[in-house]
Amino acid sequence: MTPIKTAIAGIGRAGWGMHCPELDKRRDRFVIVAACDTLPDRCAMMRERYGCRAYTDFDALLNDPDVELVSIATPTLLHVPQAVRVLQAGKHVFLEKPIALTTTETETLREAAARATGRLFFRHNRRFEPAFTRIREILASGVLGWVYEIKLRRNGYQRRSDWQTLLACGGGQLNNWGPHIIDHALQLLESPVADLWRDLKRIAAVGDAEDHLKIVLTGANGRVVDLEISGGAALSEPEYVVLGDRGALICQGDTITLKHLPADYVLPAEQASADTPGMDYSFGKGGPLPWLTQTMPAQPSTPCDIDSIWDHLYAALREGAPFPITMDEAFAVVKVIEATRQGTPFQH
């Protein structure tokens, strides 16, 4: 293997706390040769840990001829302008979420990528969350029949006061957890969005940005995805609920509970009656159904985790494999975020 010479821009909670340890597990495929942060002590941390070059000036990073790939983990408002500059410098970009704040910014990215010799990749790493991947396998199996509603939840209670609670800094849960769960929603919808309903609130966070949001997406196929992200929920719900006309599943933590009818079972023909019901409190619902219930670990047939996106990135750059998060998919997430933030009708 030929390692990709990688620089990390932004040595904070994402760059230091996520990107670095994930790359540490892939030293045969990625080598950190440079870093950039406006704080000198963060640069010193990188020099000490990796023996790499570290810059407080972004232009100096772009002028480093040894850097092939820049992983952008800087604050939200810098994502698009820095990604464009990296592409203009002829290097590859791995862009942290949110990849953009508006559809206008996504077009800026599209145009920059079209002119560049380097390539643009999007860090929607929760596409490889084991539970999400396993649930997609179950949906594809057809065991639940027609899936008509899916509920997605990421709930907790946090009295946050950092920059991600401030709208002026691009904060709020819509830009924090939102890109991950909206990407899940669009993948699970399996259809173009026909309608969008939204509600944003600030409950527990100290700043002025929303920390509780609900989005309900209706697909052209009739399926509904109801997603909720909350920093103001003292009790949590299952992360996934999937409802079909032949069964359902819930997923909480690392466990999926699945209840469904046998594949060869045909529901008996019934006919509704307008007659006055008897006094036995019967609803005319027929006999019991032969439900099958099973509990299983939330692990897909091919193991993966949220770090797996780096493996796909390496395969795309070194082996010519297609990267699983396409530009159109990533930009569709931004379109939902923008419509939610503005409260405008969703335009197909």
132: helix, strand or coil: helix
As given in the structure block, the two tokens for residue 78 are 């810098």
Same domain, 49 and 146: no
Other C-beta atoms lying within 10 Å of the C-beta of residue 44? 13
Of the residues 269, 288, 315, which one is the last residue of a structural domain?
269
CA distances to 99, 167, 301, 313, 334 from 77, rounded to whole Å, are: 10, 11, 38, 24, 14
CA distances to 53, 58, 178 from 99, rounded to whole Å, are: 26, 18, 11
Q: Is residue 101 part of a domain?
A: yes
Same domain, 8 and 64: yes
Same domain, 56 and 84: yes
Whether residue 160 contacts residue 132, with contact meaning beta carbons closer than 8 Å, is answered with no
H or E element, residue 155: strand 147-155
CA distances to 100, 317, 318, 328 from 135, rounded to whole Å, are: 28, 29, 30, 23
Query: For 49-76, what is the HEC assignment?
Result: HHCCEEECCHHHHHCCCCCCEEEECCCH
**Which residues in the chain show pLDDT less than 50?**
348
pLDDT attached to residue 309: 98
**What is the pTM (predicted TM-score) of this model?**
0.95
Q: Report the number of distinct structural domains present in the chain.
A: 2
Same domain, 83 and 140: no
Same domain, 49 and 132: no
Same domain, 136 and 229: yes
Same domain, 112 and 146: no
Q: Is residue 289 part of a domain?
A: no
pLDDT attached to residue 276: 84
Q: The domain spanning residue 240 has which CATH number?
A: 3.30.360.10
Question: Each residue of 11-33: pLDDT tens digit?
Answer: 999 999 999 999 999 999 999 99
Q: Is residue 230 part of a domain?
A: yes
Beta strand pairing call for 255-260 and 212-219? unpaired
Same domain, 229 and 101: no
Same domain, 29 and 93: yes
pLDDT attached to residue 279: 79
H helices of the chain, where?
20-24, 40-50, 58-62, 79-88, 103-115, 130-141, 173-176, 178-189, 309-318, 327-342
Phi, psi dihedrals of residue 202, rounded to the nearest 5°: -110, 120
Residue in the block written with tokens 């941390």 = 45
Q: The domain spanning residue 21 has which CATH number?
A: 3.40.50.720
As given in the structure block, the two tokens for residue 129 are 């969350």
Same domain, 221 and 132: yes
Same domain, 245 and 141: yes
Other C-beta atoms lying within 10 Å of the C-beta of residue 330? 23
Question: Each residue of 237-286: pLDDT tens digit?
Answer: 999 999 999 999 999 999 999 999 999 999 988 888 888 888 776 776 77
Same domain, 34 and 52: yes
Query: Could you give the maximum distance between any two Cα atoms of the chain, in Å?
Result: 85
pLDDT attached to residue 345: 55
pLDDT attached to residue 346: 52
Domain that holds residue 21: 4-123+307-325
pLDDT attached to residue 199: 96
